[in-house]
Chain A
Amino acid sequence: MRTKLGVLATGLGFFCLAMPAVAHHGFDTEYDANKKFTFTGVVQKVEWLNPHMRVYVDVTDPAGKVTTWNMEMTSPNTVRRQGWGPNDLKAGEKVTFTTYGGKVVETRGSLVTIKRLSDGRELFVAGGPDASVPK
């Protein structure tokens, strides 16, 4: 118990200390922390581009209508330094993801988590914007 609490305190401390200020632009000018969605869909493309990496996922609703979610992450260099690369997520793969919605354009989101369904692996988690958003 002691260890767990200690680890918890340390972990939370580091979490908060690690919370940075603005990298390229702010979260709350673009995204709504009260709009959080989870969907399953198929990856349309993954952009390892600057200033922010992006993942586009096609989500089909029960009526068959397809909506493409365009979700922003941190910089591709940051994700690369965490050990991820272009082979980790490719177009056509099925994923479950959680995202914050855009304030005005809801389907332009800020990616929180994304899981590859073929092997259940969570991808890019530490690089996602949720690293700085209170849960």
Chain B
Amino acid sequence: MKRILVVSATVLGLALALFVQTQAQGRVTSIPAGGTPLLPDNLVNGPVPRLADGHPDLTGPWLGGGSNADIEREGGLKPGELPLLPWAKTLRDGRKEQDEPYVACLPMSVPRMNPYPWKFVNAYTSKGLTEIYILHELGDAGAHRVVYMDGRKHPADVFPTWYGHSIGRWEGDTLVIDTVGYNDKFWFDSRGTPHTDKLHTIERWTRPNYGTLINEFTIDDPGAYSRTVQLKFTARRVRNDIELMEDICTENNQAGIAGGYRLNSGEK
């Protein structure tokens, strides 16, 4: 009996694993993310550390918390639920992964999170918390994303950039980041999900326990979507001794050569 149970558990485990794999990948082969050690399970439910001003300390570093391979699936939607306008769906479905600007070491932007650590950095000055910087080990292309926390508004004449213009505020224990002014160059995922420069995003970041960070993410882009989209991503704290390391993506990027294609040669 024990043996039957164990065999059944094994089969079930394998089936589950394969299911998860299928769901998570959509294909069987990829360069691994692997290797960034995560916080052990027994520490995940620990208390949320607080900043001197009483707000939750969201620093991290974290792994995940955004899209990567397929924003629709990773954000919690069913296949086909993402309300892309017909032209945008056609564009996505015709895109080839190797043409993504990110593969050519350009910024992955928002809300993408590659499988490397990232963190919030709170910049306190004599005026208090004036900015929060968001740093990724890889995917920033040497830039830094800044979130203004000093109460300013978006400029009326913002021009499109990779990270746009971000302003943030605390709503209780939730950090709310509102961003406009994105360019249309980056993809939401390696699948090619597009947006336009009308994109406006709202991130609502909460830390329910020591090891978990939640990103309630709103896409508001009437240029490419028929309605606003609500997604949810979860990040996991990396192990406490892990810090961000230097990663200059352009120093030796040989992507494409083995497969016989030129980076960024196709439609952008």
Residues in chain A within 8 A of chain B (CB atoms)? 1-2, 5-6, 8-10, 12-13, 15-31, 33, 47, 49-52, 54, 70, 72, 74-75, 77-82, 102-105, 108-110, 126-127, 129, 131-134
The reply to whether A81 and B37 contact each other, CB–CB distance below 8 Å, is yes
Question: Known contacts A25-B255, A80-B245: does B10 contact A8 (CB below 8 Å)?
Answer: yes
Q: Which residues of A contact B96 (CB under 8 A)?
A: 29
- Kindly supply a per-residue 1/0 record for chain B positions 24-53, scoring 1 wherever the CB is within 8 Å of any chain A CB and 0 otherwise: 110111111111110000000000000000
Residues of B contacting A: mostly: loop
Q: Which residues of B contact A78 (CB under 8 A)?
A: 33-36, 116
Which residues of B (9-29) have their CB < 8 Å from a CB of A?
9-10, 13-14, 16-18, 20-21, 24-25, 27-29
Instruction: Compute how far the CA of A50 lies from the CA of B24 in the bound complex, rounded to whole angstroms.
Output: 26
Instruction: Compute how far the CA of A5 lies from the CA of B12 in the bound complex, rounded to whole angstroms.
Output: 12
Instruction: Determine how close the nearest CB of chain A comes to the CB of B17; give it in whole angstroms.
Output: 4
Out of A9, A33, A126, name the residue touching B35 (CB < 8 Å). Answer: A126
Q: Which residues of A contact B132 (CB under 8 A)?
A: none
A15 nearest CB neighbor, chain B only:
B17
Question: Known contacts A8-B10, A51-B249: does B259 contact A102 (CB below 8 Å)?
Answer: yes
Out of A5, A52, A79, name the residue touching B254 (CB < 8 Å). Answer: A52
Out of A10, A19, A108, A131, name the residue touching B258 (CB < 8 Å). Answer: A108
Residues in chain B within 8 A of chain A (CB atoms)? 2-3, 6-7, 9-10, 13-14, 16-18, 20-21, 24-25, 27-37, 68-70, 96-98, 102-103, 105, 114-116, 137-138, 190, 242, 245-249, 251-261
Instruction: Compute how far the CA of A23 lies from the CA of B32 in the bound complex, rounded to whole angstroms.
Output: 6
The reply to whether A12 and B115 contact each other, CB–CB distance below 8 Å, is no
The reply to whether B13 and A75 contact each other, CB–CB distance below 8 Å, is no
Instruction: Determine how close the nearest CB of chain B comes to the CB of A133; give it in whole angstroms.
Output: 5
Question: Known contacts A2-B3, A81-B35, A105-B257: does B14 contact A21 (CB below 8 Å)?
Answer: no
Q: Which residues of A contact B7 (CB under 8 A)?
A: 5
Top-7 shortest CB links A-B: A104-B260, A102-B258, A20-B33, A21-B69, A108-B258, A16-B17, A78-B35
11 pairs, CB–CB < 8 Å, chain A vs chain B:
A9-B10, A20-B34, A21-B115, A25-B98, A25-B103, A27-B31, A50-B247, A79-B35, A80-B245, A104-B258, A132-B32
Instruction: Determine how close the nearest CB of chain A comes to the CB of B32; give it in whole angstroms.
Output: 4
Instruction: Determine how close the nearest CB of chain B comes to the CB of A105; give it in whole angstroms.
Output: 5
Instruction: Determine how close the nearest CB of chain B comes to the CB of A14; give it in whole angstroms.
Output: 8
Question: Known contacts A24-B138, A27-B30: does B247 contact A77 (CB below 8 Å)?
Answer: yes
B139 nearest CB neighbor, chain A only:
A24
Instruction: Compute how far the CA of A68 lies from the CA of B6 in the bound complex, rounded to whole angstroms.
Output: 48
Instruction: Determine how close the nearest CB of chain A comes to the CB of B223; give it in whole angstroms.
Output: 25
The reply to whether B17 and A17 contact each other, CB–CB distance below 8 Å, is yes
A127 nearest CB neighbor, chain B only:
B35
The reply to whether B245 and A77 contact each other, CB–CB distance below 8 Å, is yes
Q: Which residues of B contact A21 (CB under 8 A)?
A: 24-25, 30, 33, 68-70, 115, 190
The reply to whether A24 and B255 contact each other, CB–CB distance below 8 Å, is yes
Question: Known contacts A2-B2, A49-B252, A50-B249: does B27 contact A20 (CB below 8 Å)?
Answer: no
Question: Known contacts A29-B259, A51-B253, A72-B254: does B247 contact A22 (CB below 8 Å)?
Answer: no
